[in-house]
Copies of this chain bind each other. A is one copy, B any other.
Amino acid sequence: MGFLKSIFSSSDSASPSPNAISLEEYSAPGMSDRLGTQSRIYFSTDRSIDLYELEELCDSVGWARRPLRKVRKALQHSYMVVSMWEVRGSRKRLIGFARATSDCAFNATVWDVAIRPEFQGKGLGKALMSYLISKLRREDISNITLFADPHVVKFYGGLGFLADPEGIKGMFWYPN
């Protein structure tokens, strides 16, 4: 996988728009075969994502709706927020998302990984997670954890995540 990095503004004007977020271009061999030559894919770690756009992505993968005020708070207090964008001409569309909580020192935990269904199966989920892992590693965080639904355990396994290493169990406490 290769990263061709560049700064891209979502605003066409020379002065920064309040909705502009900084993006890094992503490219990989064969990507134009999978996505078409018109599409360009970008990553961002900017957390000023339009919450309705994020909700639309979450809806597309069938997640239960969550109160936007809590989503806003969760984004603000996540250690890292990464998003993936398709750009076609002047149109920019949120196609992937993931975020991580962390103590900024030892551990990070990845939450809310989503890729828009029509973009799944093209290596973009893997690219998004690799991008997040590389960003966390750059911050010297070594223990990256997550809780995987059964159908994505294999996907994360392919990225180097181990399920229950040394018998460690993921455990959940829910209110009664």
Contact = CB atoms under 8 A, between A and B. Distances in A.
A121 interface: no
Q: How large is the interface on A (under 10, 10 to 19, 20 to 34, 35 or more residues)?
A: 35 or more
Q: For chain A, what secondary structure do more than half of its interface residues adopt (helix, strand, loop), or is it mixed?
A: mixed
A150 to B, nearest CB: 4
Contact of A78 (B74, B103, B142, B157): B103
B99 A103 contact: yes
A101 B105 contact: no
Interface stretch (A6-14, A26-34, A88-96, A160-168): A160-168
A145 B173 contact: yes
B105 A103 contact: no
A92 to B, nearest CB: 25
